[in-house]
Structures are given as structure tokens and as C-alpha cells.
Structure 1
Amino acid sequence: MRAITRLFQTCALAGIAAFLTAPLAAQERLNVVATTGMIADTARAIGGDLVEMRALMGPGIDPHAFRQTRTDIVALAQADLVLWNGLFLEAQMEEFLLELGEDGHVVAVAETLPQDRLLAHEDYEGRFDPHVWMDPTLWADVTVTIRDALIAADPEGADTFTANAEAYLAKLEQLESYSRDVLSSVPETARVLLSAHDAFGYFGAAYGFEVVGIQGVSTASEAGLGRIAEMVNMLVDREIDAVFVETSVSDRNIRALIEGAAAQGHEVVIGGELFSDAMGADGTYEGTYIGMIDSNVTTIARALGGSAPELGLKGTLTQ
């Protein structure tokens, strides 16, 4: 703990120096650091021009295993506001973030959700599944938390933050409506979503899909040979034809399932690539929260026998 404190103090001094040499325009904006891209994208939409936004974790990064670097600590130390998911998503950073929160504006946005809306965490007793962004209705509540955190950090920007949040919440409503309509086209018998790790529990609960992850809720839980064999038998016995890979998790186990099913005479294909713990590439539609969920929903529906518009939800959102 003392080592963390000393490192924090050193980096805080570096942060002050960086602030003093920063351009005036950047100093006038609220300096916000978020752990995941999903939180950063939402905060950016609400904060607009009043916020200087940085995400620690980019495309393809697994937040369960992510450890902060010295550069990250500098960014966190000089931030006016730090936003993290919580619920043990950032497992390797939790101790540091909790200590940081003793002295500054640090908000675990998912931990403000009522516990009766959270799913149990199979890997860690007494904890909850952290993947709340998979349900847009839950993410709407997180959006309100982010709005309130921005207002608390910069009360003068309250009107802007409130107006931007209302516009963003309207888009989340469109996303939820689109998701429900498209996913309802999947035949009920085909509503089985099998992926590399169990990140889609809230998705399944929201839209009536059975969700199966080879690994548990955390990618830290390894899948043994017994688990792989169990999954292969399930694919064959239930005649499941499509499984999904994830952008932030190795596809090794998924490939093993496909090969195992083929050895038993059952063909399984990869239904597509899903965004689970990270968004798509920066600057792309899938590099936004709404884009990642739209992509997931559209990919899942088409792969499992449903139908979706050619462009998905993209292009129909109100600007």
C-alpha cells in the first residue's frame, strides 16, 4: 500500500507539471479519465466540448486482466474526474482505484445500480456480473450516473450535461427498441448464444436468450478439457450450428469446440465476431457504445436464423 501511495505522489507531481504546460483550452475543459471505452464514449457524448476525455483501455483490451501503467497513473492523478465500471471488472486495478477515490472524484458507475437488477458472479462469491453495458436499459441508468458525476465535478456545465444526456438517452431508447425487434425474429429454439466467456448474461436476461460461456464471467477463469468436452457434447446433442468469437478474448477455445464437434460429425460455424469487453476501432461506428451493441445484435440475429436490416440500426439514429 505504501508503495502505491509513493508512486501516486510521484505521479501526482508529474501530473501538476503536465497541467502547467498544457494549452489553455485543454485546462479550461474538465479532465476526465475512464477505464473502459464504453464509459468513455458515453461520458464524451454527455460532456461534449466541456470535457477532455481519455480512455485507459482501447479496442481489444481485456479489462479483467488490465493493469495500469505508470503513464495511466499520471493520467488518473491529474484527472478532475475518474470513471470506472466497478463490480470487479477492473480486477487488477481495484485496490488502486479505491485508494484514489479517498482523495478525489472517483465514481464506480455500475455500482450505483440496484443490486436486485444485477446478476450473480459465478466466479467470485458475493460479487456481481460486471457486464451491465450488454443491456441498454441498464446502461441508461449508468448514463444518468455519469451525467450526475460530471455535474458534481463541474456544476457550471450542468445545463449542457443535462441536455446532452437527454439526447443520448433518446438514442439508447432507439437502440433498445431496435434490439428487441430484431432479436425477436430469431426462432425461439435457436436462441442460444455460445461465446468465449460469459459476458452476455445481461443480454440474455433482457432478450430471452440462453447464454453459455466457455470461460466464466471473468476471463481469469480457465476452461479445462472437461469443460471443452462438455460444450462439444452440448453442441452436438442440441444441434447448435453457430458459435461466436469475441474481439477481446482469444478464439482458441472456440476453435477447439468447432473441431470437437466436427470429429463427431456435426458442423458448427463461427456466427460472427462480437464486442464483449471492448468496443471496435477508434473512429469507427463500432468504436462507439451504440455501434458495438448494434453490431452485436445484428450479428447474433442473422447468425441464429433471424433477420436484420442491411445496415443495422446505423443511419436511422436521430442526430
Structure 2
Amino acid sequence: MRAVHLWALALALLLSACEVEDFALRPVEGDRPVRAVATTNFVTDLVQQIGGERAQVTGLMGAGVDPHLYKASAGDVRKLTQADVVFYGGLFLEGKLVELFEKMPKAIAITDAIPRGLLIAPEGGFEGTYTYDPHVWFDVSLWAYTAEAVREGLSKVDPAGAGYYAERTRQYQARLRALDAWVKEEIGRIPQAQRVMVTAHDAFSYFGRRYGLEVRGLQGVSTVAETGTRDVQELAAFLAERGIRAIFVESSVPRRSVEAVVAAVRARGKELRIGGELFSDAAGDPGTPEGTYVGMVEHNVRTIVSALLGGEHP
């Protein structure tokens, strides 16, 4: 109950403050770094990559944090009010915070830079408030678009640094193009029949579309809904029939549901193992390679390729 009251208080404070200048987007005064706040840790990394020495970036969510379920704390309220600019994923990734961000002129949804025709929006729609699948970062070519949103946002509050941000954006996008090509090459090593990737929730559709894998998730695009026995049994039947070698757990999603699928497949007389842990809705720990967007992608690809080829995960 205390956590619920704290969230309600934070929400009330933010909504009541939305009319004041604290949430306005305006140029920074003086010779100080831009104070930027970001949501997930890979959005934080993106802002750091573009902002460089001209930006002081604070992240709200760390490693292993599920943005679908995240609730703002009183400390988050202070960070948001003190920021010059706020960057968030958008497309309802940060479910409980979206209402707040949409009322803040200085809050920028980085996925707004992606042409809507490139987003995944199934004809039947998703559960809840989702019109589009928000997990765009698993298609590296789409993530390159979001760098432009960060560049534009930083340039608005720091016009003197516009050239600096433009050059860092150019360099980072070149790095992402190389990463995109590497991912295609690595996934190409997996025989076509074995290119089936099963995870805890449906976060990898963009990855599958871009790099040629069939993707299945035990849960939908959000982790809000509970997994039922029927979901587990239906997925187990699919895996047993197809002879899939591995299923993956995710760093930000409890693994008990995946373990239930493994047990159900083995009960059918088939072998299935956990192929390793993937980073899905959060990158790794700060200071590690996996704590960056590029390192997160590289870890995931190496884990997937090794497991589907029948080897041990890294």
C-alpha cells in the first residue's frame, strides 16, 4: 500500500507541475552542460553517445528494470523537474509514465523519429494501449533513426552545440550501420530450419523481421499480463513438434515461466534447454560492455547464434 501511495503522490506532483516553467523546453543559460534525463538504460546510453561532453545524462531505470511496469519515485520527480530535456522511448514502452511525459513539452519520444510505416502494427492490434510494437531497438537500422531525435532535442536546448551533436550523430550512425551488417552476417550462420527464437515475452519481432528469424514469445509485447498454463502448454507443443533446441530467458523478466516451458517440453519426451539470458527491455550493468546499446546487441546475437547452433552460450 505504501508503494501505491508513493506512486499516486508522484503522479499528482507531476501532473500539477505540468503548467509551470519547470516542464518547458528552453535554451540552457550559462556555460554548463545540458541536464538530460532518460528512461531505460539503453536510451540513456544513446543520449550519452550523442551528448558527449556537452551533456550530463541521468537515467531513471537501471539494469534489469522492466519499463512496462516502472513507476516514478519521488526522486524521479526531482530529476524530471530539474532536467533541461527528457528523452523516453515512446510507443507506450514506459506504460505508467506516458501520461506524464505527454504533458511535458521538454519530454521527447525518440521513436517519433521513426517513420510510422516501418513500425510493426498487426491488423488485429495488441493488448491494452499498444498501437505499435515499442521494441524498435532490436532492429539496429531503426535505432539509427532515434539518434536524430536526440540530436534535435539537445540542439534545441543547446543551440551552440548543434554542430557538435550533428557530428557525433553521424559517427554513431556509422557505427550502427556496421553493427547492423555484423548482425545479419552472424544470424546467417544459423541453418534456416533452426532460425526459431523463443523468449519470455514478445520483444523480438523487429529482430526477427530484420534478420530473418521466426520469433515466439510466451507473453505479449507487454509483461503486464500473466502467463497461464494454457500458454505454457501451447508453446511447449510447438517447440516439441519443431524440435527447437533452446529457449531464452530475459534479464528484465522473471524466468519461472520459461522454466515451466522447459519442463513441459521434457514431459513430452523432447530435450530443450535454456540457451542463455538475453537483454530485452533493459541493457546490462553500468561499466560493462552489455551496459551499452551496442554491447547489448552483440551479447544477444552471440548468445542466440551459439544456442541455436547447439553450442554453449557465452
**Same structural fold, with TM-score higher than 0.5 when normalized by the shorter chain:** yes
Counterpart position of 1:100? 104
Give, in angstroms, the shift of residue 114 of structure 1.
1.5
Counterpart position of 1:315? none
Aligned residue for 1:213, secondary structure, equals strand
How far apart, CA to CA, are the structure 2 residues paired with 1:44 and 1:126? 28
Give, in angstroms, the shift of residue 2 of structure 1.
11
Tell me, yes or no, if structure 1 residue 113 matches structure 2 residue 109.
no
Counterpart position of 1:150? 154
Give, in angstroms, the shift of residue 124 of structure 1.
3.3
Normalised by the size of structure 2, how large is the TM-score? Answer: 0.89
Deviations 1:217-244 (A, max 9, x none): 0001222111111011111111111000
Aligned residues: 298
Give, in angstroms, the shift of residue 106 of structure 1.
1.3
Counterpart position of 2:186? 182
What is the identity, as a one-letter code, of the residue corresponding to 1:268?
L
Counterpart position of 2:226? 222
How far apart, CA to CA, are the structure 1 residues paired with 2:35 and 2:10? 26
Partner residue of 1:298 out of 278, 296, 302: 302
Normalised by the size of structure 1, how large is the TM-score? Answer: 0.87
Q: How does 1:170-319 map to 2 (within 5 A)?
A: 170-305=174-309
Give, in angstroms, the shift of residue 65 of structure 1.
0.1
Partner residue of 1:138 out of 121, 142, 156: 142
Aligned residue for 2:76, secondary structure, equals helix
Give, in angstroms, the shift of residue 111 of structure 1.
2.6
Q: Percent identity?
A: 39
What is the identity, as a one-letter code, of the residue corresponding to 1:106?
A
Contact 1:11 1:77 in 2 (8 A): no
Tell me, yes or no, if structure 1 residue 77 matches structure 2 residue 56.
no
- Greater alpha carbon shift after TM alignment, 175-184 vs 120-129: 120-129
Deviations 1:194-226 (A, max 9, x none): 000000010000011111000000001222111
How far apart, CA to CA, are the structure 1 residues paired with 2:112 and 2:300? 24
Contact 1:33 1:79 in 2 (8 A): yes
Deviations 1:51-79 (A, max 9, x none): 00011010000000001101001101111
Structure 2: gaps of 5 or more residues:
1-7, 24-28
Counterpart position of 1:162? 166
| Residue 71 to residue 153, structure 1, CA distance change in 2 (3 Å) | same
How far apart, CA to CA, are the structure 2 residues paired with 1:202 and 1:180? 13
Partner residue of 2:59 out of 38, 55, 64: 55
Deviations 1:231-271 (A, max 9, x none): 11111111111000000000011100111111111110111
What is the identity, as a one-letter code, of the residue corresponding to 2:196?
V
| Residue 6 to residue 299, structure 1, CA distance change in 2 (3 Å) | closer
| Residue 191 to residue 162, structure 1, CA distance change in 2 (3 Å) | same
Deviations 1:118-172 (A, max 9, x none): 1125223661000000011000011111111111121101111111111111110
What is the identity, as a one-letter code, of the residue corresponding to 2:178?
Q
What is the identity, as a one-letter code, of the residue corresponding to 1:86?
G
Contact 1:244 1:273 in 2 (8 A): yes
- Greater alpha carbon shift after TM alignment, 105-114 vs 262-271: 105-114
How far apart, CA to CA, are the structure 2 residues paired with 1:144 and 1:41? 14
What is the identity, as a one-letter code, of the residue corresponding to 1:131?
H
How far apart, CA to CA, are the structure 2 residues paired with 1:42 and 1:75? 18
Give, in angstroms, the shift of residue 179 of structure 1.
0.3
